[in-house]
Structure 1
């Protein structure tokens, strides 16, 4: 699209992004002299009823989500060039660009993703599932204000699947096992993807960097969640537990809220920092998803929709790391076991020496 082209009252000023389904332009809404992001459905798809329905739904859904951390949709319409969405223009990079440029500071990661988690929880409480959480769909504005974007694959909880058997909608590096296997899509799918994004922010690597798409999908279904501490020795192993829970194969084992996942990461970082400094562990307000404790709806579930199949969360239990106690910390029982080991060793030594003596005498 050439600069200066007028599309339903919007003047195209430049290209922001281009994909298979749509192109996004920086544009000016002439009636208000407002700079916007103008998303135009690709011409070859504008006549496809399924894509038209999905594109129209994206506008309706985003326009109905009034949240500080969700990109605002101003208008959805039809033009001579096809369907379009006029959206809030965010002056900043995507989270993917930040990750590509350099490894993110862990505390900055928590601050950014806590905002995304709030947006996700708001969408889930409205009965909507994003289905395509990834760093490319998280925009970072001035002051590190994060925005969740691209609701083109949004799904209501009572909606029929849009894909056939053996197909799924999402991005393979972040897709939940149940999506791959054709099982029902729930908010837990978004929680899985958010945990995968958390891992990537901390390590600058996707969870399963395999040589093929098939291998990546297989890893999501079969392989254990990756360990942050194996990629970055400076990060606490407690983050491994956070990622393992967020990327659990069983969706019921994942956190009930996105905010709960990110606050667990904040707590792991805070506890680790406190141990290094000798201070009491605490979660700072600027690191927590809500500026404090995570607030659960009554009953600990996402409440607004009675037909929601939300399952209670189940905490994964992990064995604590083995520790060598100092002599002063050993228990009486431990001392008895130690004496027993020494006694057995002494008896074995006596038997060995006796055997040698008898052997010499016989020869």
Structure 2
């Protein structure tokens, strides 16, 4: 794009790249002024999405606020939607936070300015939905600006997103958005609560080693109270943050204006009790002057407590979760991993105590080589269901992938104890014990597995390997022949049989199996087979 002109803007250089497009430094040819032009990738939006993008940009262009980046123009040229806006020079709030905690008075003043800008956006019907320190900037003259409406969406319109793609940054997503809802202005309130906490503490209120763990933390964990991390804060600030970070949007500040007003009062020295903070923005309700008899009053209190209890201990919708999990498994079997992950996350959102989708996400992470993420997800599944055999088995495989053989043995044994009908635990434990030189132990475990699954080919294959170590050549051959009935194309089995026949001088039989090995997708196995096939024929001993 550099050097080209787009809709009257001369593109000079790329400034940054996001999920939907690229932002360029540009020059308005007509007015001879600098500008930033965001060019959207054509594949990011369908026809409806493009129309919505243009409408949203036009709505933004009508907003004039000192703390909102100015939108100059928007449109589409040569099939590429674009947004031209004020070019800001300075540094982001992220850079400021990285330098250390922000003094509370300065943090509150900055947040009050951003809330004033956000309130103006919300009044225009625009929800930002991508609030984060990277999208808040300080200009060189010290003005704080809210920017990047690249994925914001009009409240009246559907969120602009590609299918199966989570919009926004996980760290600043509200619980309702994690659960799959589009969210509303109160989702922005939550994000700014996170940012304010981060400014004061220089750490995020919700922790996790990977996106799924962070999302779980956001929806389940209560942040460490801010006054336990940062001292000498004004009375009431803890309650303000607690309310902004409420899981239920109905319990947050109802709008950016009420959030801003309480911050402004704190800056003036006003002290707030928790009750006063909770009352901000709430409509007063009339109470009828009726004397309630004692029995009726007790019954009323019981009903109220029951309702509160239900609100604090939500029960997940297991049926919905199971449905999403099954859809995820279908996508996974078809090879559509992104869609599978999206469905598993929806299952978790529907019922966070349902262990199966946590396990399934871990399997994907393991297959992609993300052992830390797989470990964390599996521990989450086991915390919900300690006797979940599949998760215990998979955790054993994660440990083995890390060369933690003791851990692998522990979890393989735990998976067998949880469900002795599954062959996988016996097979992998037997293979592991054989690798560790514990031949008799391997034999015992594999025999126990075969007692329950007498035709399981992998158990038979590994039992043959054990028999060979025990000097029982004929038994090894018998195990492998039986295994081959269930695994006719298994490269390792054919190699084991080829080597067995070679040792016995049975060259023709060995050749047949080496020819099968030569068909392997594994280059090393193919080369081994090709070398074997070139060796001179040995006579039978």
Q: TM-score, with normalisation over the residues of structure 2?
A: 0.46
2:172 partner SS: coil
Structure (1/2) with the larger strand percentage: 1
The CA distance in 2 between the partners of 1:101 and 1:79, in whole Å, is 41
Equivalence for 1:6: 5
Residue deviations 1:324-347 (CA, integer Å, cap 9, x gap): xxxxxxxxxxxxxxxxxxxxxxxx
Provide the C-alpha distance between the structure 2 equivalents of 1:203 and 1:297, rounded to a whole number of angstroms. Answer: 26
Q: CA deviation at 1:93?
A: 1.2
Do 2:14 and 2:25's aligned partners in 1 also have CA atoms closer than 8 Å?
Answer: yes
Distance 1:183 1:28, change over 3 A: closer
Which residue is equivalent to 2:118? 120
Residues in 1 aligned to 2:233 and 2:217: alpha-carbon distance in whole angstroms: 24
**Residue pair 1:69, 1:115 contacting (<8 A) in 2 also:** yes
- Give yes or no for contact 1:76–1:84 (8 Å, CA) kept in 2: yes
Picking from 185, 195, 198, the partner of 2:196 is 198
2:180 is paired with a residue whose SS is: coil
The CA deviation at 1:170 is 2.6
- CA–CA separation in structure 1 for the residues paired with 2:207 and 2:5: 43
How many angstroms does 1:113 deviate by? 1.4
The aligned counterpart of 2:28 is 29
Give 1:88 deviation, angstroms. 0.7
Q: 1:120 to 1:228 in 2, by over 3 A?
A: same
* Residue of structure 2 aligned with 1:91, choices 89, 92, 98: 89
Contact 1:140 1:147 in 2 (8 A): yes
Q: CA RMSD in A?
A: 3.0
1:108 is aligned to 2:81: no
1:103 to partner: Cα distance: 2.5
**Match of residue 303 from structure 1:** none
Shift of 1:189: 0.8
Checking the alignment, whether the CA contact within 8 Å between 1:61 and 1:151 is kept in structure 2 is no
CA contact (8 A) 2:52 2:157 kept: no
- Trace 1:217-228 onto structure 2 (pairs within 5 A): 217-228=215-226
Tell me the distance in 2 between the aligned counterparts of 1:298 and 1:268.
19
- Give the direction of change, closer, same or farther, for the CA distance of 1:31–1:184 in structure 2 (3 Å limit): closer
Once the 2 structures are TM-superposed, how far is the Cα of residue 117 of structure 1 from its aligned partner?
0.3
Shift of 1:21: 1.3
Structure 2 counterpart of 1:136, from 129, 134, 137? 134
Structure 1 equivalent of residue 240 of structure 2: 242
Structure 1 residue matching 2:149: 3-state secondary structure? coil
SS of aligned partner of 1:25: strand
Structure 1 Cα separation of the partners of residues 282 and 208 of structure 2: 41
Separation in 1, partners of 2:74, 2:162: 28
Alpha-carbon distance between aligned partners in 2 of 1:200 and 1:103, rounded to the nearest angstrom = 8
| Mapping of residues 17-56 of structure 1, within 5 Å | 17-42=16-41, 44-45=43-44, 48-49=46-47, 51-56=49-54
Rate the CA distance shift 1:40–1:183 in 2: closer, same or farther, 3 A.
closer
Q: Distance in 1 between matches of 2:215 and 2:281?
A: 34
Asked if the contact 1:94/1:136 (under 8 Å) is kept, the reply is yes
Indicate whether 1:153 and 2:154 are aligned: no
**What's the counterpart of residue 175 of structure 1?**
173
Q: Which residue of 2 aligns with 1:214?
A: 212
Give deviations 1:151-194, integer Å, cap 9, x for gaps: 23323333345569987533211111111123462211111111
How far is the alpha carbon of 1:211 from its aligned partner? 0.3
Q: Which residue of 2 aligns with 1:255?
A: 253
List per-residue Cα deviations over 1:11-64 (Å, max 9, x = no partner): 223322112311111111111111111111135537x43553453244223112
In the alignment of these two chains, the number of paired residues is 277
Please tell me whether residue 233 in structure 1 is matched to residue 241 in structure 2. no
Structure 2 stretches lacking a partner, 5+ long: 273-279, 285-541
| 1:144 aligned counterpart, secondary structure | coil
For normalisation by structure 1, the TM-score amounts to 0.67
Secondary structure of 2:151 counterpart: coil
Contact 2:207 2:213 in 1 (8 A): no
Structure with greater Cα Rg: 2
Unaligned runs of 5+ in 1: 272-280, 284-295, 301-363
Is residue 91–residue 141 contact of structure 1 (8 Å, CA) maintained in 2? yes
How many Å separate the matches in 1 of 2:197 and 2:25?
A: 32
Counting helix residues as a fraction of each chain, which structure ranks higher?
2
Tell me, yes or no, if structure 1 residue 71 matches structure 2 residue 69: yes
1:101 Cα offset (Å): 2.9
**Aligned residue number for residue 186 of structure 2:** 188
Shift of the alpha carbon at 1:227? 2.0
CA–CA distance in 2 between the matches of 1:167 and 1:227?
Answer: 33
Of structures 1 and 2, the one with the larger relative CO (CA 8 A, separation 6+) is 1
Aligned partners of 1:235 and 1:225: how far apart in 2?
17
Given that residues 54 and 153 in structure 1 are in contact (C-alpha distance below 8 angstroms), is that contact kept between their aligned partners in structure 2? no
